[in-house]
Structure 1
Amino acid sequence: MEPKQHLYLVDGSAYIFRAYHRLPPLTDPEGTPVGAVYGYTTMLWKLAEDLNKADGPTHLAVILDKGAISFRNAIYEHYKANRPPPPEDLVPQFPLIRDATRAFSLPCIEEEGFEADDLIASYARAAAARGWDVTIVSSDKDLMQLVGQTPGEGEIDMLDTMKNQRLHVPDVIEKFGVPPEKVGDVLALMGDSVDNVPGVFGVGPKTASKLIQDYGDLESALAAAPEMKKSKLQERLIEQADMARLSKVLVTLKEDCALPIPIDDFRLGAIPPDPLAAFLARHGFTSLLKRLDIGAGSPAAATRLHPARPVTAGAGPAEGAARQPLPEMPALDYEAYECVQTLDALDRWIERAFTARLVAVDTETSALDAMRADLCGVSLALGPNQACYIPLGHGGSDMFAEKPEQVPLADALARLKPLLESDAVLKVGQNIKYDINVLARHGIAVAPVDDTMIVSFCLDAGRSVDGIGGGHGMDELSERHLEHKPLAFKDICGTGKKAIPFGEVPLDRATRYAAEDADVTWRLHALLRPRLPDEGGTRIYERVDRPLIPVVARMERNGIKVDRDRLAHLSGQFAEAMAALESEIHAMAGQEFTIGSPKQLGDILFDKLGYKGGRKGKSGQYSTDQAILEGLAAQGAEVATKVLEWRQLTKLRSTYTEALQAAINPLTGRVHTSYSLVGAQTGRLSSTDPNLQNIPIRTEIGRQIRDCFVAEPGHVLLSADYSQIELRLAAHMADVPPLKQAFANGEDIHARTAMEMFGHVDRDTRGRAKTINFAILYGISRWGLAGRLGVEADEAQAMIDRYFDRFPGIQRYIVSTLETVRERGYSETLFGRKTWFPRIHSKTQHERQGSERAAINAPIQGTSADIIKRAMARMDPALAEAGLGHVRMLLQVHDELVFELPEGDVAAASPVIERIMAEAALPAVRLDVPLGVEIGSGLSWGAAH
């Protein structure tokens, strides 16, 4: 009897886009973009290897989309209308991907007028009808309609290679709440914003699922709508029934397409090596050629894969230099990980780490706050699948609980300390700043270090399309670069009331989770670190970001003291002021209502009080965002002004005067914010838990909050603030002689601009000049400037024209910057930091214009961020050299650094701090304008600022 046939249908279109976003831009020896081609080829190869190890297919084909138009567009002209065109450098890769498929001697199916999903559905049904089993290699939710088995036929399942998970009927039910044959009904109700399937407005996945569960199918749910309880849902089901039926047609897969190639022709055999070798050689895929094992006489012997052009001057290798080949690694094997429970085993791993000279390190703790968390264990990795977990605090918090065998904490740390502090061994981490702080509390100073998160940021900041590929967390990097989805913390510890601390997780599960983190980090380092010299990222990583890691870690440990009593008093004052504002707002409205409810506020402002300018969103309620309220306030609506004041007080009270009291560390009596080196696309540090960077700068309320940050007895806080650094950088980078001269002479730059713009200086013209100076650097439009200055758009445009006339260098800078970003896809700071703008060519106007505004400012704001980072990295050594090593740097907020020092050392420390900040750009960059630094000191941050 012939063995059962098993057909695999690969959704090739999904592979293409995953491959494109997974790898950096690559070009072959002829200069053709091939990044997606390389990624697609490796993914197809990996699939073939994985299937060969398992019960592999007897038949296999790759299905692709022929074009963007299908029969659905004739049914609904707006179908997929929201999808942007493919990236410019991906278009020439489409035919090469077809060549890659055929190089594997695999069928490559595509048909004009049909989507890949329809062809997959038709082949799957035809094969199942013959009794074959079918596996669809995809994670597309639309294809889940096909999963299952019809009596007398073969079974259809899905394989999600991203999650390495097979999907059967129970998995579909878990996702949609209904069996596969009802998935189309759920999709019809909820719609699909990606494909522009309308659905029923306001109906999400949960509501759609419940409707089909309750009524059986779409038509029954629509027929029952008139009898439902009166609600928005009932109204929408009645009003949009036709849209729901149209959507059902759009999401239903066509299962009777003519099959262009007979299924029997999909039979798998050995892959002839010659066509594949020729394809790999032609495009310079040398590492893949080696896997074919075709000998040293391969035609690819002299072939190299070049980085995508253009590379920036001084930022990377000379044209034609060889790209570092992508490392080849085995799949992650959880069974290979070791749980280290004895000192002998720990000594063995430490010895191996000293020999390797590079070790990936990760800590497992009881909490996310590095200053409060208990250490549960440490994991190490020395190579792919060469990883271990050293449990140190497992067994639960109950003193009577049975604890598993583990190395005593003090003994383990004593053994690990020489390794983690050795200059001869590089410690690699993912957000290693956290691990540095955890281990510092145990007396271990981890150094030297590399950080895969920051390496990724230096390479790919902003490089994402439709939200894909933009993050730098370990899970995102692993899925993007390694095609591996790591174990989730919630899967190990649970969620909600059933969640357990990591220290109570059984050691076998804890080892898998913790050792995997170190293993993945090691692999990411091997993959990403070699890209730095190829792609011009070495300079920014080595000269700016990497030296900052221990500096920021130390600042976090330093923390800053806050006056709890003063905070509580201020919080009470805010509460009284909020209550008074509420009474005034209610009096103006003529009734009481919930001011914090956007719906109630919108109804009061636009329906009851009749103010103009109200607009309703998709939810059917008026927008009451800040811009709307500011517009009403400008029209003289005092109630809008009061609401804005109330909102600010509410936010400041919850975010600062209340939250800061809770944030005080009981052990140190100080607040320890957490800084992210990858939180802002331009390279600026961002602050969280608590966020200390959003306190209003120039308001009385902001000063009152700053007054709550105080020095220890006998000490003062010193604030060192760059003066108008972005304007100074703009004068240099845009080469604007009048502005450079004004800064060199120490003039008031806004007064100078007012004189150039308006011919005289008074309070009004200086204020306008200040607004214009900063607004122009952010690429503001005539309407945006008009709104800020309270003038007509034509008058605002005249001001912009006059500004460019007086300072033509600014306009040249803007035009040149935009041209460069449109050509390369990224902007660059004076120190070589790249920021990518994938939406710079977007067909959607607001997306494109938003990217343009950000691109204009990114080189200036990014250079400013680089300069203050360089100052921070140099500060402690300079203070120590001056005999001021006890001066502690506590905070970095925008362009300001805050220090704590004995009151008697202010005179000695101030010139050192000012010099380091003023000369931070040197010697890498010599500016045409001086960097001004303003210094103040006092018993509180408010007094010093």
Structure 2
Amino acid sequence: MSADAPARFGTGCHLHLIDGSAFIFRAFHALPPLSRKSDGLPIGAVAGFCNMIFKMVEDNAGPDAPTHVAVIFDKGSHTFRNEMFDRYKANRDEMPEDLRPQIPLTRDATRAFNIACIEKEGFEADDIIATYARMAREAGGRVTIVSSDKDLMQLVGGGVEMFDAMKNCRIGVEEVEAKFGVGPDRVVDVQALAGDSVDNIPGAPGIGIKTAALLINEYGDLDSLLERAGEISQPKRRQTLIDNAEQIRLSRRLVLLDQNTPGLEPLEALEVREPVADDLLAFLTLMEFRTLTRRVAEKLGAEAPALPEPAAAEPGTEAPDPALSLPFENYECVRDEAALLPWIDRIRARGYVAVDTETTGLDEMRADLVGICLCVDPGHAAYVPLAHVNGSGDLLGNLERADGQIPLERALDLLRPVLEDDAILKIGQNMKYDMKIFARLGVTVAPIADTMLMSYAAHGGLHGHGMDYLSEKYLGHTPVPIKSLLGTRKSQITFDRVPIDDAICYAAEDADITLRLWRLFAPKLPASRVTTVYETMERPLVPVLAQMERHGIKVNRDHLSRMSNAFAQKMAGLEAEIHELAGRRFNVGSPKQLGEILFDEMSLDGGKKGKTGAYATGADVLETLAALGHDLPARVLDWRQLSKLKSTYTDALQEHIHPDTGRVHTSYSIAGANTGRLASTDPNLQNIPVRTEEGRRIREAFVAEPGNVLLSLDYSQIELRILAHIAGIDSLRQAFQDGLDIHAMTASEMFGVPIEGMDPMVRRQAKAINFGVIYGISAFGLANNLRIPRDQARDFIDRYFERFPGIREYMADTVAFAKETGYVQTLFGRRIHTPEIGARGPKAGFAQRAAINAPIQGTAADVIRRAMIRVPGAIDGLPAKMLLQVHDELLFEVAEDAVDAVTARVREVMEGAADPAVKLSVPLTVDAGSGPNWAAAH
């Protein structure tokens, strides 16, 4: 910095405008793991921010040094754009819990460096930057905007340029043209057409940056384009522009920066000033930044204050939080408003609260809220009973409300401002359940933290993540068992019938345990290097899934009933055929009786008895026998398939239809699978067979409401694409880039046959190997799948590895990495622990196959999670709802006339879901289909 900068701003002056918000978020997400002060305050983002500011100070020397500089911040989230469009930025992710207290400290840091710190209520930082850039330009000076934000690129030119401090590169007119396809003066027009899902700017449905640039370059500007939209030859594009003209004009007003922000400090007030050594060093010392304090002291020629060195500690043996060992007993029952109000004040003062709900059941769509648990300090929690009833009732069985409870609506009126306050973090264990309970009562809980997901992010593959288990393992405390209150089996009662005095300890303890787990887990996420996984793929997914589950999907009960009847008739016919083949009647559903028929009476080969003395009659045994031409096991397999379809789907799904909504509401487990895959339960809608006629007919029962259709978007061969990228298999990469039939290409590579006119059986063999290799398939497994001899299957696998040696190298490297570290990880940093990787015997093979598959399946799971998190913002304003996620498929209910628009937006999100975190060397492609039911759509 120059000490003799001119006092007045004019020709020859150079203004640096630093995008403070961008620096903060870059520091939080991109720099090394976060740290905390000795008192527990998170300071990682502040440390990164200070280092970036200091680097700017050091680098800005010489003839091109700035004469004036300011750091510009956002102040608040509500601006004049929200008055234009109330959903502006409505889908932005919540601020991470560790970042919130650091925001004011970054302002203090700016002032400590003696740099002008500028923010203004009702205006975004970008508007302030635009205003200062205009003022400096008009005064004859130059401007460098220190940011890479695309929204600021409309300002480039005429003495204004940008500088990306992270990439150390200049952004001028040419760079803007390369990004947008137009010059800076037309960036706003392109953005108005393309919209922005991050900021929730609607734009023109189905039009992206490239198409927008083509249109603007052809017609000159946005106004001319909209006036002449009727001349566009493509019917769909023409109608989109005509139908959405006003929405596009609104989008332009939203993206256009305000260059006349009122009430700002004059340019002269931004003059470069040397830091005051005492002030800056005092701040850095307070933040306990040892290295930076020494560097700044050397720079300023001052003496660095003495900082006490932290006590040495072995990794994992840090001093425990003493509050975590407080007794689990200081619990309060809040029976009236007078007792609840001090708790609300306490929550506001803390800025966070652990919340838990007590309900009448586990089905969030049917359970009633009985009470709410609150905790802000370990060892001190409250239970707010709301709907307990006395054990005795009138002659009709109506139970009377227990005394000493706040009316439900009144309690919610008092708690709603806290539960919906963006400045107060709500902490839960499996928070999705509680959010859905509150949502049914009109309360939107946000922002949230979830201790179950913190454990999952840090300990995935090591153990379960239920509260009781976590409490015993990490807190050394066994919670009160629920069965001690509810009883078991026929004598079991619902929680509303538990006497309030008996419920207090159990209920309040849940919130207490949850708070303690949060205080234990939150500081350890950065050290485990899983903060990004938790903040970008776990926590933001909770409200998305909660909304999907509440939407549910409509099911045609009559269709299922007819199928159940048809299955029953087919099963009866198969039973008669099986009895005839066996020579006598027996219980086809009894494995013991079936084994005796097959191996004792019919003397078939392959009979093996287990520990119980009964023969094994699993599907693998029956499939082997059927492949040898035995009819009875083949018919039993058919019978079992129909029996499973009937009991698991056509019968059970009818029971799951909600009486009020007429829809089935599955529940997704975020922490159910080690690899990050979601698991669907109650009912499971992810395992409906699709390769059989009966399975496809079951999907016909899932239907759209009148005027709507079901829309399916499905990643094409995503795991093979990820394998090609991770293993670096050039031929597979090129095939995907060229859009070839990957299975036919593999068959051609392996068997030396041309793709044209290929025998479908040869392609089928290659397909089985392609997918089998991902899951570590054995020669035995492949032989069963293809109904070929085991030696031939082994030869196929050996030939596959010879042709694609990168796969074998990937497998060996992955197993070695797992043995060295105890985990494998996805491309996005998700860790899947492999505690059995060093096992011997049969466990060893299973553990190694799981380790090899986990990075591939886990990366695919991460991709679709990232897509799901972005989809709600992309389709906001369109008549569409995301209903289901089934492995690589997303299913939507969409108005008939909006299918194309929704397809375009969702496909763009899904195909770009890996960016910018990971640059895949193969494209992700998404297949789409729609129809009146799920079978027709997929």
What is the alpha-carbon distance in structure 1 between the residues aligned to residue 613 and residue 769 of structure 2? Answer: 36
Change (3 A) 1:835 1:604: same
Identity, % of aligned pairs?
54
Shift of 1:335: 4.1
**Matched position secondary structure for 1:631:** helix
Identify the match of residue 816 of structure 1 among 789, 813, 832.
813
1:544 aligns with 2:567: no
Q: Which whole-Å CA distance do the structure 2 matches of 1:304 and 1:877 have between them? A: 47
- Note if 1:534 corresponds to 2:542: no
Tell me the distance in 1 between the aligned counterparts of 2:400 and 2:781. 64
Counterpart of 1:347 in structure 2 is 341
Show the counterpart of 1:673. 666
Equivalent in the alignment of 1:413: 412
1:12-411 → structure 2 map (5 Å cutoff): 302-305=310-313, 307=315, 325-329=319-323, 331=325, 333=327, 335-396=329-390, 398=393, 399=398, 401=400, 403-411=402-410
Give the gaps of 5 or more residues in structure 1. 1-299, 309-322, 464-469
- Inter-partner Cα distance in structure 2 for 1:422 and 1:354: 9
Distance between the aligned counterparts of 1:581 and 1:479, measured in 2?
A: 51
Say whether the 8 Å CA contact 1:665–1:672 is kept in structure 2. yes
CA 1:781–1:335: 2 relative to 1, 3 Å: closer
User: SS of the residue aligned with 1:593?
Assistant: coil
Q: Which of 645, 650, 661 in structure 1 is aligned with 2:638? A: 645
- The amino acid that maps onto 1:595 is V
Q: 1:377·1:389 contact (CA, 8 Å) conserved in 2?
A: yes
Distance in 2, Cα, partners of 1:643 & 1:739 = 40
Counterpart of 2:920?
Answer: 927
- What is the match of residue 190 of structure 2? none
In structure 2, C-alpha distance between the alignment counterparts of 1:944 and 1:471, rounded to whole Å: 36
CA distance in structure 1 between the aligned counterparts of 2:323 and 2:343, rounded to whole angstroms: 21
Distance change in 2, residues 1:636/1:847 (3 Å):
same
Q: Distance in 1 between matches of 2:508 and 2:772?
A: 49
- Structure 2: state its 5+ residue gaps: 1-307
Q: 1:416 to 1:771 in 2, by over 3 A?
A: same
Query: In the alignment, which residue of structure 1 is the partner of 2:553?
Result: 560
Cα distance change, pair 627–405 in 1 and its aligned pair in 2 (3 A)? same
Instruction: Tell me how far apart the structure 1 counterparts of residues 820 and 536 of structure 2 sit (CA, whole Å).
Output: 27
Structure 1 letter corresponding to 2:331:
Y
* Deviation (angstroms), 1:796: 2.5
Deviation at 1:781, TM superposition (A): 2.4
- CA deviations over 1:47-85 (Å, ceiling 9, x no partner): xxxxxxxxxxxxxxxxxxxxxxxxxxxxxxxxxxxxxxx
Give the whole-Å Cα distance in 2 for the aligned partners of 1:396 and 1:873.
44
Determine if the alignment matches structure 1 residue 857 to structure 2 residue 853: yes
- Contact 1:365–1:502 (CA under 8 A) maintained in structure 2: yes
- What CA deviation, in whole Å up to 9, does each residue of 1:784-824 have, x standing for no partner? 32333333433323222211121111111111111101111
Q: Which residue of 2 aligns with 1:445?
A: 444
1:521-670 matches, within 5 Å, as 521-670=514-663
User: Within 2, Cα distance between the matches of 1:749 and 1:370?
Assistant: 43
| From 768, 775, 794, the counterpart of 1:797 | 794
* Residue of structure 1 aligned with 2:863, choices 864, 867, 887: 867
Kindly provide the amino acid, as one letter, of the partner of residue 492 in structure 1: L
Deviations 1:178-219 (A, max 9, x none): xxxxxxxxxxxxxxxxxxxxxxxxxxxxxxxxxxxxxxxxxx
Distance change >3 Å, CA 440–CA 788, structure 1 → 2: same
Q: Is the 8 A contact 1:722 1:895 kept in 2?
A: yes
Residue number in structure 1 paired with 2:123: none
Q: CA deviation at 1:330?
A: 5.4
Distance 1:800 1:681 in 2: 27
Query: Which residue is equivalent to 2:835?
Result: 838
Separation in structure 1 between the aligned mates of residue 762 and residue 740 of structure 2, nearest angstrom = 16
Q: Does 1:685 align with 2:681?
A: no
* Structure 1 pair 566–396 and aligned structure 2 pair: CA distance change class (3 A): farther
Contact map agreement 1:324 1:530 (CA 8 A) in 2: no
2:330–2:380 contact (8 Å) kept in structure 1: yes
User: Please, what is the CA RMSD of the aligned residues?
Assistant: 1.5
In the alignment, is the contact (CA less than 8 A) between 1:723 and 1:934 conserved in 2? yes
Do 2:387 and 2:401's aligned partners in 1 also have CA atoms closer than 8 Å? no
Alignment partner, residue 173 of structure 1: none
Q: Secondary structure at the match of 2:777?
A: coil
Matched residue of 2:415: which SS?
Answer: helix
CA deviation map 1:468-518 (0-9, x unaligned): xx1110000000001100001110122233322211212121110110000
Kindly indicate whether the alpha-carbon contact (under 8 Å) linking 2:324 and 2:475 is maintained by their aligned counterparts in 1.
Answer: no
| Equivalent residue, structure 2, for 1:14 | none
Letter in 1 for 2:388: H
- Residues 21-43 of structure 1: per-residue CA shift (max 9 Å, x gap): xxxxxxxxxxxxxxxxxxxxxxx
CA contact (8 A) 1:544 1:866 kept: yes
C-alpha offsets along residues 855-910 of structure 1, whole Å, 9 cap, x if unaligned?
11000000000000000000010111xx31x3100000111000001111101111
Report the alpha carbon displacement of residue 302 of structure 1 after superposing the two structures with TM: 4.2
- Give yes or no for contact 2:390–2:499 (8 Å, CA) kept in 1: no
**Structure 1 segment 704-743 matched on structure 2, within 5 A:** 704-743=697-736
CA contact (8 A) 2:390 2:399 kept: no
The alignment status of 1:913 with 2:912, answered yes or no, reads no
Rounded to whole Å, the distance in 1 between the matches of 2:496 and 2:325 is 28
In 2, Cα distance between equivalents of 1:832 and 1:325: 27
User: Where does residue 432 of structure 1 map in the other structure?
Assistant: 431
Alpha carbons 2:390, 2:400 under 8 Å: kept: yes
CA distance in structure 2 between the partners assigned to 1:332 and 1:668 by the alignment = 46
- Contact 2:422/2:447, CA 8 A, preserved across alignment: yes
Shift of 1:305: 3.2
Q: What letter corresponds to residue 678 of structure 2 in structure 1? A: L
Q: Deviations over 1:361-398 (max 9, x none)?
A: 00000011000011101000102112000000012484
CA apart distance, 1:530: 1.3
- Scaled by the length of structure 2, the TM-score of the pair is 0.65
Amino acid at match of 1:361: V
Structure 2 counterpart of 1:454, one-letter code: L
Give the Å deviation of 1:331.
4.4
Amino acid at match of 1:750: H
Deviations 1:542-578 (A, max 9, x none): 1111110000000010000000001100111111111
Secondary structure of 1:382's partner?
strand
Equivalent position SS for 1:898: strand
Letter in 1 for 2:433: Y
How many angstroms does 1:301 deviate by? 6.2
Match of 1:825 in 2: 822
TM-score, reference length from structure 1: 0.65
Take 2:489 and 2:815, find their aligned partners in 1: how far apart are those partners?
Answer: 48
Residues 551 and 883 in structure 2, CA contact (< 8 A), matched pair in contact too: yes
Corresponding residue pairs, total: 622
- 2:929 maps to which of 923, 926, 936: 936
SS at match of 1:614: coil
Alignment partners' CA distance in 2, 1:873 and 1:450: 16
Which shifted more, 545-554 or 399-408?
399-408
Aligned equivalents of 2:743, 2:595: Cα separation in 1: 38
Distance between the aligned counterparts of 1:821 and 1:525, measured in 2? 28
- Equivalence for 1:774: 771
SS across alignment from 1:820: helix
Q: Please state if 1:904 is matched with 2:886.
A: no
1:771, 1:307 → 2: CA distance?
46
Conserved? CA contact 2:623–2:784, under 8 Å: no
Q: Do the aligned partners of 1:307 and 1:535 also contact (CA within 8 Å) in 2?
A: no
- Give the aligned residue type for 1:804: F
Aligned residue among 804, 808, 824 for 1:807: 804
